[in-house]
Amino acid sequence: MRNELVLVTGGSGFVGVHCILQLLDAGYRVRTTVRSLQREAEVRAMLKVGGVAAGDRLTFVAADLLSDAGWAEAVAGCDFVLHVASPFPASAPKQEDELIRPAREGALRVLRAAREAGVKRVVLTSSFVAIGYGKAPTDRPFSEQDWTDLNGRDVTAYGKSKTLAERAAWEFMAREGGDLTLSVINPVGIFGPALGPDISTSLQIIQRIMNGGLPAVPRLVYGCVDVRDVADLHIRAMTHPAANGERFLAVADGQLSFLEISQLLKAHMGKAGEKAPTRVFPDWVLRLGAPFDPSVAQVVHELGKIRVATNEKAKRLLDWRPRANEEAILASARSLVQLGLV
């Protein structure tokens, strides 16, 4: 059994708690940061839903992305760090810095603390919005070599926050990383099983479709990935020699439109899927800003702009094999039913 200690930042979040779950299951000891230690019981309850009783193999430290307090304690004695924590709101903020500052400053705080503590590797959770936005339409798939153009018209505050945070992380490593190594994961829209009632922005979309909150769906196509596969890719990148200094797109094979998601729920979720709409909103409705703000949903195709991302690198270098999109969507829906959220 492994006895290495891994810090997971943002352990109460959707990706963070699944990372903790898989690390504990693999035999690692885990420390996690939360903004308030009052969330410890909530995290432990989610892990129990996931089938793991953490016991004393999981410890907690209070730390905030905008403060130096707690980070030295958080990384002390750690072999690896998964820096997952970053704000992801359900609607656009009033001020861009509400997202940009904690994302960028938080990443740098974690990297500095990790370097000083002698951590072997940090795996940073970035996003596809740091890769495929601000660009003219293209027929080729986006890869890890691409970067979002911050001057593009479709780049939102969230997109800026993730792009600037990742850029800052790579610049830090080039300038003063020392013996620390860095890998980055860039997921698209993350679905899969929720473990608690405080659900992610992506799962709120599934919840809204199933609760009958939409008379129709927008004409959007998602690049999807299951949260369990995102966590798995983090752990592979954490230890694999080939992941040093690399970024990896986390995206399953193929894409799903909102309409296909709705039809999937209607076909496979019984009574719970009966309210899923079967028609598409006209484009002009979406341009008025309803019912979704596409800027904060990690969509890969919006109103004719096609963004296809490739997972070839993660498969080739890390032997990563993601679940099918349909499995991720149905796992999301079933968990929402089990939690009484639809």
The rounded distance, in Å, linking the Cα atoms of 223 and 213 is 23
pLDDT per position as a tens digit, 10-22: 999 999 999 999 9
The rounded distance, in Å, linking the Cα atoms of 44 and 51 is 11
Place of tokens 């911050």: 150
Specify the range with the lowest mean pLDDT, choosing from 242-251, 277-286, 288-297: 288-297
Q: Can you read off the two tokens belonging to residue 140?
A: 């080729």
The rounded distance, in Å, linking the Cα atoms of 117 and 277 is 52
- The pLDDT score that the predictor gives to residue 135 is 84
- Looking at every residue in the chain, the average pLDDT score rounds to 90
pLDDT per position as a tens digit, 151-167: 988 888 899 999 999 99
Place of tokens 């707690």: 70
- The pLDDT score that the predictor gives to residue 298 is 39
pLDDT per position as a tens digit, 259-276: 999 999 999 999 999 999
- The pLDDT score that the predictor gives to residue 12 is 94
Residue 305's pLDDT band (cuts 50, 70, 90): low
Residue with the bigger pLDDT between 40 and 140: it is 40
pLDDT at residue 289 is higher than 70: no
Kindly report each contact of residues 300-303 with a partner whose C-beta sits within 8 Å and lies 24 or more positions away, as own/partner: 300/128, 300/132, 300/188, 300/189, 300/221, 300/222, 300/223, 300/255, 301/220, 301/221, 301/222, 301/255, 301/257, 302/154, 302/220, 303/219, 303/220
Q: Are residues 74 and 112 in contact, defined by beta-carbon separation less than 8 angstroms?
A: no
The rounded distance, in Å, linking the Cα atoms of 249 and 251 is 6
Q: What percent of the chain has pLDDT over 70?
A: 91
292: containing domain? 5-338
CA-wise closest residue to 196 among 82, 336, 69, 295: 336
Residue 290's pLDDT band (cuts 50, 70, 90): very low
pLDDT mean over 184-193:
96
Count, residues in the chain: 342
H or E element, residue 30: strand 29-34
**Backbone CA torsion sign across 77, 78, 83, 84:** negative
> Can you give the CATH number for the domain in which 254 is found?
3.40.50.720
CA-wise closest residue to 112 among 30, 176, 31, 184: 176
pLDDT at residue 285 is higher than 50: no
- The pLDDT score that the predictor gives to residue 278 is 86
Residue with the bigger pLDDT between 115 and 281: it is 115
* Residue 204: C-alpha distances to residues 55, 91, 211, 341, 342 (Å): 30, 12, 10, 10, 10
| Spatial CB neighbours of 195, under 8 Å, sequence gap ≥ 6 | 17, 18, 21, 46, 47, 49, 50, 335
pLDDT per position as a tens digit, 68-86: 999 999 999 999 999 999 8
The number of folded domains in the chain is 1
- The pLDDT score that the predictor gives to residue 204 is 92
Specify the range with the lowest mean pLDDT, choosing from 76-90, 162-176, 240-254: 76-90
pLDDT at residue 257 is higher than 90: no
pLDDT per position as a tens digit, 23-56: 999 999 999 999 999 999 999 999 999 999 999 9
- The pLDDT score that the predictor gives to residue 91 is 60
Beta bridge partners of 32: 8, 60
Q: Catalytic: which of 162, 266, 275, 305?
A: 162
Residue with the bigger pLDDT between 305 and 273: it is 273
**Is 305 an active-site residue?**
no
